[in-house]
């Protein structure tokens, strides 16, 4: 019960902060471009608590902590607004009356604030704790393991697993764990030479799920505290590198190099939130930075209903000189909602499979 409470509290706090940062970007950009903001909500559903500020914005804490939103004044536009909404519009303060550039700024600043948060989080982490480094060389080969049987030696660097390009030690761990008993090829760099080693991953059972294991270890070098300017530069570099790794991982799933079973959703994020909360504030800050990068990138995908989809419409409007037709926007939004819903369902099923729910149900039914 204690673990469950810690997981729920950590998840709500971590997601709440990241959603607030994202929506704060939209809010500040709207105020900057002269748009009145009607609502700033953390969470969805009925409001647990709400209040109004001097500018007339309603701030809410809502019951379902799975996101949030900012509602600019006149966001719905003339074609979608009711007569009552139109009568309440304040001239010069509506979102739809602003230039396409101003509207794009309001939309894009949500993801931008996620990246800014990641940079600042890494900067603080590197300045206060230091930047830990995991050496790419293998430091340990477990006796009688799959790695030893394949001929892996300490000092080797794994560059590929089958067709998958390896980007980090975590990459190796996650890929091997997802493919128990698989026969594949390890691409190894040893003393400047490239080798190919056939390998069969070991298997081990944890709970009701079977995982793969290679039997290697990496050494981590404790980081030294950095001066703030150096920490900031390293924070920018870390954020940029993480963006590349996330996009590379998405491409590997799309191209079939990775299993789509690796996609995680809300339950997995909650689990990870509870786990990192055990290891102290540095681990929490690092996890939040990574999650913030993911949130920013996902929102920039050109899928209608996401920020990236709206930015795509604005780009087309800027090129053509007129907005995308209402019909095209409506159909695109419906397709986007269906796609997001399908991804949410698929990732949730993955999460439930990983925690052994379906195995437990089958066992109970048997």
23 an active-site residue?
Answer: yes
List Cβ neighbours of 352 (8 Å cut-off, separation of 6 or more). 267, 358
Which three-class secondary structure state does DSSP give residue 60? strand
Q: SS3 breakdown of the chain: % helix, strand, coil, rounded to 5? A: 55, 20, 25
For residue 182, give every residue at least 6 positions away whose Cβ sits within 8 Å of its Cβ, in sequence order, or none: 200, 201, 212
240: helix, coil or strand? helix
Q: Give buried/exposed letters for 71-101 (b at 16+ CB in 10 A, else e).
A: bbbbbbeeeebeeeeeeebeeebbbbbbebe
Q: How far is CA 97 from the centre of its chain?
A: 33
Cβ neighbour number for residue 364 with a 10 Å cutoff: 7
C-alpha to C-alpha distance for 106 and 100, rounded to whole angstroms: 10
State the Cα–Cα distance between residues 92 and 171, nearest whole angstrom: 50
List the structure tokens of 126.
């590197």
H or E element at residue 212 = strand 209-213
Q: CA-to-CA distance for 267 and 210, rounded, in angstroms?
A: 19
**Active-site residue numbers?**
23
């Amino acid at each position: 019960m204690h673990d469950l409470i810690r997981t729920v509290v950590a998840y709500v706090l971590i997601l709440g902060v990241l959603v607030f940062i994202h929506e704060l970007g939209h809010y500040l950009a709207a105020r900057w471009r002269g748009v009145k903001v009607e609502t700033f909500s953390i969470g969805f559903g009925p409001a647990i608590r709400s209040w109004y500020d001097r500018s007339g914005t309603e701030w809410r804490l809502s019951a379902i902590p799975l996101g949030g939103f900012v509602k600019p004044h006149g966001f719905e536009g003339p074609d979608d607004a009711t007569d009552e909404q139109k009568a309440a519009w304040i001239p010069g303060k509506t979102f739809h009356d602003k230039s396409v550039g101003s509207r794009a700024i309001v939309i894009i600043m949500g993801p931008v604030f996620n990246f800014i948060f990641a940079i600042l989080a890494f900067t603080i982490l590197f300045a206060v704790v230091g930047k830990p480094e995991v050496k790419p060389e293998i430091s340990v080969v477990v006796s009688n393991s799959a790695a030893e049987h394949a001929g892996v030696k300490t000092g080797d660097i794994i560059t590929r697993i089958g067709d998958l390009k390896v980007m980090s030690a975590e990459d190796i761990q996650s890929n091997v764990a997802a493919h128990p008993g698989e026969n594949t090829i390890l691409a190894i760099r040893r003393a400047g030479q490239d080798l190919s080693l056939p390998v069969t991953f070991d298997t081990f059972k944890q709970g009701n799920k079977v995982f793969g294991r290679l039997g290697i270890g990496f050494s981590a070098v404790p980081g030294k505290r950095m001066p703030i300017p150096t920490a900031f530069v390293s924070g920018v570099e870390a954020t940029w590198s993480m963006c590349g790794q996330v996009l590379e991982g998405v491409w590997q799933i799309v191209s079939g190099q990775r299993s789509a079973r690796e996609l995680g959703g809300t339950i997995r994020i909650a689990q990870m939130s509870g786990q990192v909360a055990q290891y102290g504030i540095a681990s929490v800050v690092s996890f939040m930075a990574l999650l913030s990068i993911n949130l920013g990138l996902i929102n920039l995908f050109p899928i209608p209903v996401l920020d990236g989809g709206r930015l795509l419409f604005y780009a087309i409007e800027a090129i053509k000189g007129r907005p995308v037709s209402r019909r095209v926007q409506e159909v695109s939004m419906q397709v986007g909602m269906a796609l997001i819903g399908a991804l949410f369902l698929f990732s949730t099923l993955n999460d439930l499979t990983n925690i052994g729910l379906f195995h437990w149900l089958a066992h109970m039914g048997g």
